[in-house]
Each structure stands twice: as C-alpha cells, then as structure tokens.
Chains A and B, each alone.
Chain A
Amino acid sequence: MTAAAGPAPGPDPARRRPANPFDFAKAEGNGIQDFIRTFAVAVRLGWQLEANWTDPFLFFIYSVAKPVSSALILVVMLEVIGGDAGRAFRPFVVVGSALWAFVVSGIAGLAQSILEDRERYRTLKYVYVSPSDFLTILIGRGVARLGVGLAGAVITLVVGVIVLGVPFDPATVDWPLLAVVFVLGLGSIIAVGLLMAGIVIQTRQESWQYPEAFAGAIFLVAGAVFPLGVLPAPVQVIGLLTPLTWWIAGVRRALFVDGPGSIGGDGTVFASLSGHLQPSPEEIVLALLATGALATLGAVAVFRISDRRAKQAGLYDRTTGS
C-alpha cells in the first residue's frame, strides 16, 4: 500500500493562522468613555450602598446627626468655660467642625469601599479583575460618600448660623477664593483617602476604624477647632505641611473674611517664617497647591506599592475575622 500523495497531515494552515485571530482593539477599550462610564457607575453604586437602606428622611437624620453633634460638643465646651474667649471662638469651632465632617467622609470613603467589598460583600477580587480601572472605581465610590459628608457639613453650617448664632453674611463671602480652595482641597481629601485605602488593603477587618482614627490624628494638626498657635512649634510645622490645614484656613478665610485665622498669630511658626501674622489668600492657595500636590503624589505611590504587594500576597481575596 502506498501513501497517497497530498497535503501533510495536521490542521489546515489557513485554520492555524486565521486572518483575524484577535481584535486587540476590543481590549484597549474606549478611553475616556470607559473612564466616565466606570466612574458614573461607581458613584451610583456608592450612593445606593450609602442611601438605599432606609427612607430619605431617616437617611437625612442619620447623615446630619453626627456632624451636628460634633459641633454641639465643642459649643458646649466653650459655654462651660464661658467668657469672651469662648463666645468669640464659636464661629471658629462651628465652621471647623462642619468642614471636618466633610474631611472624615472623604478620608473614610475609599478605605471603607475596600473593606466593604473585601470583608462584607466579598466582591473585591471580582471588581479588581473586571475590565474597569480599579482606581476609578474606588474614587467613584469615595465620591458618593463625600456627597453625604458635604450634605452633613452644609447642614451643620446652617444649624450653626440659625440656631447657634454664628454671624454669616453671604454678601461678604469671597466666592472666587472659596471656589478655588474648595476644588484644590477636594483633591487633597481624596488623596488622603487613597492613602488610607492603600493602608487598609494590607490590614485586617478591624481596620474599619482606621480611617476615622487617622482623620482624628490630622484633626489635631489641621487647625480645625483651635488655632495652630496653641500647639508646640514642631507640631505646628507638621500642620503647615498638611494640605487640609491650608484648605480649612482657606475656606474659613473665604466665609469669614475678617474672622480669626487658624494658621498665623503672635509667636506662631508661620509668623516667624513669613514675617507677617496671617497668610494672604494667595499664600493659602499656593501652599494648598504645593502641599496638595505632594500629598497626592505620595498617596498614589503608597497605593501603587500596596496594590503590588496585595497581588503578590493574595490579599485581595483574604477575609478575616475577630
């Protein structure tokens, strides 16, 4: 029997190398469109997780009770001591504690998203391997919580003006300064939130309280409810290097142009470095820009390192108990 002449055995070469084996363009995505869609879905998901567990009225009560109570604690502390110093301080602490409620929401939002998805819903690994950008999802989730925090801060300010007698005149507000520092500060808050997200990727379930504990530590150096001048000089320096200090000072300056500032004053580190008592609006914006850029770069670096280590150590699908 002779072998029949013909093509060599095996699959048809044309089948082995199809003309169009894989459309790489499909894996590249649609750039900015994908980003916007991912971000919008993440914000919506974050909002649903935050808000759809109850009716809107109860949700409103829950959202404002915490920041309003924080402000009331400080107001009663001032009243207990009484005197002119206490009364003069009231607008200072009400505005500071309202702004701080917003800061805490921003710092906690991203980290809580990681913890919720990993420990509670156990979906973090699926979210991570989805085609969407992980960082975009995280920031989207954090923005939803920032929205809740902003509502709490605004209500606290309204309560401060109407109930606690904080003098406020919209005509005297420096709106351009408010807009600029608010946008820059928002970036800084998200950066600190990203830093905390990078940290809680590495830690276990008990890290639910870590973001708020971290925010509480910054509370000491940010001049939120007392001027930096009462702190020891080295701690004042740490405060001056923190973008949130400049953000709070900027918002306070924009809302109450002639009100007491939190950064400068007699004998402060700022006064000795700059040669004048209070920072000008331009100095506040520049300092916020510089410290915010540093904080953002640092936070992104920490998050990237943490992300790499989490992948190597299998931390994205690790759940813990206590």
Chain B
Amino acid sequence: MASSIDLVGRSGAGPRQAADWSRRQELMTDLRSVRGRAYPRIVGLMREPSWVLFEILLPFLSTSAFVFVYRAIGAPQAYVGFVVLGGALTAFWLNVIWMMANQLWWEKSQGNLELYFAAPMHFMSILFGMALGGMFMSSTRALVVLVIAGTVFGVRFSVDQWALLISVFVLTLGALYGLGMVLASLFLVWGREAWHLGQMMTEPVYFVSGLNFPVARLGFLGALSVAFIPLATGLDAMRQLVFADAAFPVGTPAPLIEVAILGVMTVVSILGARWMLIAMERRARRDGRLSVRWQ
C-alpha cells in the first residue's frame, strides 16, 4: 500500500492532507485565477477584429455627435475637450456595467458560475481578473478616443499636476471597478432585471455625472453625484486637472479633495464587494439561485 497519494500534483498522506494547502499555495492559486480570468479579455482583443470597428470607431463617432452639438451653438473650445474626455471615460463605465456587474449573471446563464464556485480559489480572484482584463480592454478604447478625437477636433490639454492626474486616474479606475464588483455580487441573485438595471445605469448616470458638461451645473444633484458616483468624481477631477486653464463653474470640490473621495470609494467598494459576495453567495445558495438559468 502506497504511503502517500498524488492528488492533482499535490502529495499527501490522504485527500484531507492534500486539501490542506499552505498560505503560499492558496495565494499562488488565487493569482493564477486572476491571470486566467483576465486572459480571455486581453487575448480576445486580438481574436475578434470586428471589435475595433464596433468598440472603438463607432463610439468615437457617437462622441463626435456631442462635439458637433457644441459647435452648432458656438460653445468655447474647452467644452469640446469636456466631451472628448467624457467619451473616453464612458469606455470604463460601460465595461464596468456590462462586463463586471452583469458578468456573473451571464456566467450563471451560461453554466460557468457553478464551476467557479466549485474551483479551489477565492471568488474575489475571479472579480479581480475580470476587472484587470476589463481595464486593459477599456484603456485601449479610451486611449484611441482621446488620441483621435483630440487630433481631429483640435483639443488642447493643459496639465499642470501630472502626479495628481495619474493618482486621480488610478483611483477612478479602482473606485469604478470596485463598484463593478459590488454590483456583480448583487446581480448574482437577480434574473432579467440585471440587464434592465444595466440599461438604467447608462444614460441616467451619464446625465447625473455630467458626462458632456461640468457636473457643477447640476447644483445639489451634481454634488450628490460627486459624493457617490465614481464616474462623476473622477470626470470632474480630471477635467479640472486636464483643462487647468478653462473657466469652471464653482460648486464641486478641488481635485485633491476629490482624490480623497475616490480613495474612500475604492476602499469601501472593494471591502463592500467582499462582504456582498459572501452575503449574496449565502443567500443564493439558500434560495437555490446559483444554478438557476434563463429566468
């Protein structure tokens, strides 16, 4: 009789010992899971050529329409820049809504969700992997929109504080994808309403976030948005930093304060996502919703 058995490449005296992983083994498996979940999103860019047309060029044309609205009413050139920056950031917001928040619901419909839960990894690894892959995908689109639109419409960026701008950008992504993780956990127990909620979170959120205009113009509603919606906070901070010489309506905080707000949003949303994931998973298991499809 063999003194030890080999279970999935891990030796031990028996199944119980083989399943007793060290912290390092757990960490390495989680990191591999992050890489594995990010992989299809990054490699997928190269494998689906139609993506370039539909995800980059056509949204650029849509952004251009708002530029022409400003041109039709003779707006100052800085407002064209506002639209271009807003158009670039929508790439991240759409990615968060459709490829983070809605993703677990889709995985459930496709039958992958139970495989994720059965796999020996922390589920947050899946969410982090989705977020990293999504950030990469969206960054390419945002960059192309910024470069093409900036060139075509002659947008002049005037940045004085690069370090602050980079901090705002990184924290905006952190807060946005943290929110995406929270929503993904929440959508775990929903059916078709998840898709409709995703629809609800596009134009209405664009409006309250001041996508094409300074959010301060919305008064109290704008202030609320800056306090609670990372898209609004990040966009307002970036506009103040990227168009430093433009005249802004008063009503929103200085970029440094918005950096602090984004930092709090990032931490709260990631911790919230972890808590929500555990709570929603427990509820979904209790209600038998983890493998319910096509509802």
Q: Please report A residues at the B interface, Cβ cutoff 8 Å.
A: 49, 53-54, 62, 65-67, 69-70, 72-74, 76-81, 83, 85-86, 89, 93, 119-121, 199, 202-210, 213-214, 216-217, 219-220, 224-227, 230-231, 319, 321-322
Contacts and interface: CB of A to CB of B under 8 A. Distances in A.
A81 B75 contact: yes
B218 interface: yes
B239 interface: no
Nearest to A204: B48
A93 B68 contact: no
Nearest to B109: A120
Given A83-B74, A86-B73, A209-B55, 12 more contacts: A62-B199, A73-B213, A74-B69, A76-B207, A78-B73, A203-B48, A209-B54, A213-B59, A213-B62, A226-B65, A231-B68, A322-B99
Contacts of B99: 322
A89 B69 CA distance: 10
B53 to A, nearest CB: 8
Given A66-B204, A214-B54, A120 B294 contact: yes
A225 B196 contact: no
Contacts of B50: 199, 202-203, 207, 210
B203 interface: yes
A206 B52 CA distance: 12
B64 A220 contact: yes
Contacts of A74: 69
A241 to B, nearest CB: 16
A80 B217 contact: yes
Given A81-B75, A203-B48, A220-B64, A226 B69 contact: yes
Interface in B42-77: 44, 48, 50-51, 54-55, 57-59, 61-62, 64-66, 68-75
A66 B212 contact: no
Contacts of B94: 209
Contact of B58 (A66, A72, A216): A216
A79 B200 CA distance: 24
B204 A322 contact: no
A214 B57 CA distance: 10
Contacts of A227: 72
